[in-house]
Structures are given as C-alpha cells and as structure tokens.
Amino acid sequence: MKNNGMPNKGFFYADLEGAELNMKPHCACGNPLPENYYCEKCQKQCRCTEIRCKDKAVFDYVNGMITGNKRFHNFTAVLDKE
C-alpha cells in the first residue's frame, strides 16, 4: 500500500498502570507506531483519534478526560473487543 497523501486512521490502546493512563499508538492495520506515527507496514502517516480502552474502568477514565478537557474533544473512546 502506498501513501496517497491521506492520513491513515489509527488508534491508541489505553490501559491503566496504577493511577497512570498508558496510551500506545497503533496503525489501523494493528501495527504499533513509533513516535512519528508513521506506519512502515502501510507506508502511511497515521492520525490516532480513537482510544481503545482495555476495560470499563479505563473507558470511564478516558471518557472523563474527553468530556472534561478541551484538548481531547476530537477523540472518541471505545471498549476494546479483545
């Protein structure tokens, strides 16, 4: 797959480690992303706006961030299907 100039929809996988939220970026293909959010597998720049939450506790925490912080208004939270 070649980069057509459009960002690839990626996601963050979120879990709680103690009281800290840990979010790891992934490409839509599932490949973990480096800090620059470029997927070597798809050869695309990813834009992560979905936050996939490990469980209900993480989901509730992330939803609180989304509704309580304007910096997160473009994000959506979903429960992970795994």
In a domain, 58, yes or no: yes
CB 13 within 8 A of CB 23: yes
Cα 82 from Cα 70, distance rounded (Å): 29
In a domain, 38, yes or no: yes
Q: What pLDDT shows up at residue 82?
A: 60
What integer is the mean pLDDT of 36-43? 94
Length of the chain: 82
pLDDT tens across 43-79, in order? Answer: 999 999 999 999 999 999 999 999 999 998 899 999 9
Question: Taking Cα atoms as reference points, which of 11, 24, 30, 19 lies closest to residue 75?
Answer: 11
Q: How many CA atoms lie within 13 A of 18 on its CB side?
A: 1
Range of the domain at 14: 8-79
What integer is the mean pLDDT of 28-44? 94
- Look up the pTM and report it: 0.84
Nearest-5° Cα angle at 18, 25 to 81: 45
Work out how many domains the chain is built from and give that number. Answer: 1
pLDDT at 81 over 80: no
